[in-house]
Structure 1
Amino acid sequence: MPLRDVRSANYFMTDQWHVTPTVNEFVESDPKYRRCFWHVQTTMLIHTPITAIVCLLGIAIGVVALELPHLHHHTPLYDHVLHKYYRRHKHAYLIIYTATASLWIGLHSLHLLTLVLAVIGTQLSRPMLLRPELLLLLVQLGLLLAILISVVTLMILTNQVMPIILTIAISFLLLTCTYTYVVVWCHRYLSDKYRALMEILANTKSVHFKEGKKRRK
């Protein structure tokens, strides 16, 4: 039986006395897949464009840092930490700076691709397509957490506030945390839905096999 027929049918007879509900009724009616009256798929689709905007903003920040490297010379981070290394190893500093900015741009560009895969996986009920997004989000969380800890430590040591860097780090970290939660939640839902669908297909094939066997008799 085609997949669309399995999803559109109301009930399937797994045997003569037992009725199994469709995959939509089996999974989507569960309250654990709703938060504040919103279904997990709705939450995912709402949060996705917000995350895409954050990715584009991250790419824009990386491009500005790459094209206008002199701007970071006016930051407290450069004044207290980086300027000494820049004076002693200017060539190596520029290579590391360019590589860091390029890595930042590449990470957010890759995130856009995994974001598209996650949306496709959500629409097609394929949880495996969400796993690249989960992996990349975990990497981003680690990097952003390291950046935030470094900034806070530097602020404590220098007794100077770095509002711009701190705001960017906290904003990106919070948005990444919330989206990671949504993706994990959606992955769980899609996994349960896919498992239920496979079970229904297996039961349907079993019924067809039994019916064919009876007809041959």
Structure 2
Amino acid sequence: MQGNPYLNYQGAFGNLTETDKKQHCSLRIQTWVYIHSGISIVTSLLGITLGSILLVRTEWHEKLFLYRLTLAYLRRSDPSKYWIVYRVFFGVWIAVHSLHLVTIVLTVIGVHKTNLKLLKPQLFVLVFQIGLFILGISSLFVYSMTGTRVAWLALFVVLFHTLFASTNLYLLAKFHRFLDEKLMILRDILSAQAKSVHFKDDSSF
């Protein structure tokens, strides 16, 4: 039984070692990180734009089902507090997306320079962001279940950002692990070479 001829091929792509496979996989993840970084920049800009519009054009949020379901009642009960919370909410929304935008740029630089430290800011921001999104989804789900209709638009916006943040976190964590292993192997090699040179120097005496 000869098996798969492609596995027995001795050319440039045949008989890949474990290191070659890891390097190839790491390269693929790196490419996907670049692609997803571009997508994340777009989603962050969309989030900033949406937050800015709703912060400036406050009347737009009155068209939402969520407003008619709950927010209108809160607004009537205490208008001043309502508008403070409203502005704080969208201010935080814009700030989180802006911060994410900055960390995406740092990630691209970190991936290009294979700098592990530059990947960490986006990891922290994504975990925080996803936590907020999950809280938002849970709240919207409860509101929708207690109301007569589902707040589809608000749910779609939050789920949209949650999806891309989650996939971004997965890819970034995956690449972070590969890069960490790569740097660890490199440190071991350099350490072994340093010991070898030191041993040769000692033996020469």
Q: Same fold (TM over 0.5)?
A: yes
Q: 1:46 to 1:214 in 2, by over 3 A?
A: same
- 1:63 counterpart = 2:80: no
1:107 to 85, 96, 100: 96
1:79 maps to what in 2? 68
| Counterpart for residue 211 of structure 1 | 200
After TM superposition, list the pairs within 5 Å mapping 1:114-153 onto structure 2.
114-153=103-142
Q: Which runs of 5+ in 2 are unaligned?
A: 1-15
Q: How far apart in 1 are the matches of 2:107 and 2:119? A: 5
**Could you say what secondary structure the match of 1:126 adopts?**
coil
Matched position secondary structure for 1:29: helix
Q: RMSD of aligned C-alpha atoms?
A: 2.1
In the alignment, the residues of structure 1 paired with residue 201 and residue 17 of structure 2 have an alpha-carbon distance, to the nearest angstrom, of 27
Of 80, 83, 90 in structure 1, the residue corresponding to residue 79 of structure 2 is: 90
Q: Distance in 1 between matches of 2:17 and 2:111?
A: 17
Give the letter aligned to residue 62 of structure 1. G
Letter in 2 for 1:34: C
Structure-to-structure mapping, 1:13-52, within 5 angstroms: 29-31=20-22, 34=25, 39-52=28-41
Higher relative contact order (CA 8 A, sep 6+): 1
Would you say the 8 A contact 1:27–1:193 is kept in 2?
Answer: no
For residues 142 and 32 of structure 1, what CA distance do their matches in structure 2 show? 32
Identity of aligned residues (%): 28
How many residues are paired up? 190
Distance 1:93 1:33, change over 3 A: farther
| Partner residue, 2:176 | 187
Deviation at 1:32, TM superposition (A): 9.0
- Segments ≥4 residues shifted beyond 6 Å: none
Give 5+ residue unaligned stretches, structure 1: 1-24
What is the CA-CA distance between 1:211 and the residue it aligns to? 2.6
Q: How does the TM-score come out when normalised to structure 1?
A: 0.81
Shift of 1:31: 4.5
Q: Which amino acid aligns with 1:60?
A: T
